Structure formats: structure tokens, C-alpha cells
Amino acid sequence: MKVHGFGRGAALAAVVAVGSGLGGPAAAETSLEIGRSEFAGYCAACHGHDGRGDGPFQVLLTRRVPGLTGLARANGGRFPAERVAEVVRGSVDMPGHGPMGMPLWGDHYRTKAPSQLGPYFKPEDAEAYVKSRIQGVVDYLATIQEK
């Protein structure tokens, strides 16, 4: 499970967009692209390509992987963005994601992870970079909610 160069480029674009105060549709589309790439690389193996809980890893797990397209419906029609962000940050107890404090994706969604920066980022960009990954996943999942 690795982010493709594409994801990195998109994340860089997001950091640049945030830094230069750009907002609106372009930033939203960039965030979605990041999210799509993050989801494919870090979530789809279990939650399935379309987030329906039918990823290829399911057969290896003793716990059923839930679909992620009904999160809004289960929350009274409102997508629980903050909760999803917390799940990705690893600050919610979710055994399916590994022990708390040691999520299966390691430091990927943590700000204090200079080793995750790759060649494009300075340490001081780490926070914006990681935030853009988490926000991307949240934004992407919001778009695949069933009515």
C-alpha cells in the first residue's frame, strides 16, 4: 500500500493552494483527487474499491469490514466528517485499524512524521501535507454517500 507519485503531486498542489490563499472549486477538486488516491492506497484493500466493504483483504480478517457509503444515512443524513477524520488520525478506538496509537498505516496521517515527507516537502510543510491527506479522504468519502 503506497501512495503513487500522483498523490504526492496533488498534495503538493494542495499545499501550494493553501499557501497562496486559493480556495473554491479548484481547491475542492484537488482535495478530492488526493482523497481518491489516498483511499485507493490505504483503505480500498479492506473497504473495497467503491467503499462497499468488499475489499480483497476481507477474507483474511476475522472482523467484518463495514461499507463506508452509509455513514451519512447512519448519522441522520449528515456525513460525520469530524468523526471520519478522527478515525483516520487514529484517535478513535477501531481494532480493525490496528491498536490505538499504532494504526496500520503507521505515521502516514500524523503530523510529526518528517520521514513521510518525501522529496518535495520541507519539515515545516508536514502539517499542511498531512492535513491535506486526511481532508482529502474525508472529502472523498463524503462524495460516495448513498442517499
Binding site for ligand HEC (CB under 6 A): 42-43, 45-47, 57, 61, 63, 65-66, 68, 84, 87-88, 94-97, 104, 137
By beta-carbon proximity to ligand HEC, the closer residue of 22 and 45 is 45
Residue whose cell numbers read 485507493: 40
Exposed, middle or buried, 68 (CB in 10 Å: 0-12/13-18/19+)? Answer: buried
Q: What is the nearest approach in angstroms of ligand HEC to the Cβ of residue 95?
A: 4
CB 69 within 8 A of CB 146: yes
CB-nearest residue to ligand HEC: 96
By beta-carbon proximity to ligand HEC, the closer residue of 23 and 98 is 98
Nearest CA-CA partner of 83 in 92, 74, 73, 96: 92
Distances (CA, A) of 10 to 27, 32, 112, 137, 144: 10, 10, 20, 13, 20
By beta-carbon proximity to ligand HEC, the closer residue of 9 and 41 is 41
By beta-carbon proximity to ligand HEC, the closer residue of 104 and 117 is 104
